[in-house]
Structure 1
Amino acid sequence: MGRRSWNLPWPPYSPDLTSCDFFLWGYIKSIVYRTQPQNLDELQARIQDAFDNLLQEMIDRAIECYERRLQRCIDVDGRNVEQNYADEGNFLP
């Protein structure tokens, strides 16, 4: 499912709650693009290497934060949640 899916349209104002949205993609991008990859093969290798080197502690923290965000949504019956996620931004060990 994506924002432009023909099969299942993205609901208006739907939150992006996944750990990937809050942490993973930005972290991987910062590792992959420390310097500009020279070609597609190098880009793919850097992406694979970044995922291969994710520390289990980082993954565990991301999952814990994801669970807290889900619980917040449950607590407010799915209504909009304005929350400062600064306390959840540090996934690094």
Structure 2
Amino acid sequence: PPELKFMVLLKRDQTQEQNLINIKIANMDVDMYPKDSAVVVKVNGVEIPISNLPYQHPSGKVQIRQRGEGIALHAPSHGLQEVFFDFNT
């Protein structure tokens, strides 16, 4: 069976009074945080515009897509079914 390795961190930004999520999975480092009236997604430090979603990692094992008011990350082959992030997270 594949080795399941991922880490999801929920951080609280005290100055902005908002949460941000960091997901480390495979060779990806994904950040999601609210900015203005949208959720920003960064993969390995590079911002992925919402208009470019769904984003598929070249390995094909990780997908990031827009769902309703938020962003969902799926990586079932890594044992991570879904991480959902929106303004109310």
Q: TM-score, normalised by structure 2?
A: 0.22
Q: Which has the higher contact order (CA 8 A, sep 6+)?
A: 1
Q: TM-score, normalised by structure 1?
A: 0.21
Pick the structure with more helix per residue: 1
Pick the structure with more strand per residue: 2
Bigger radius of gyration, 1 or 2?
1
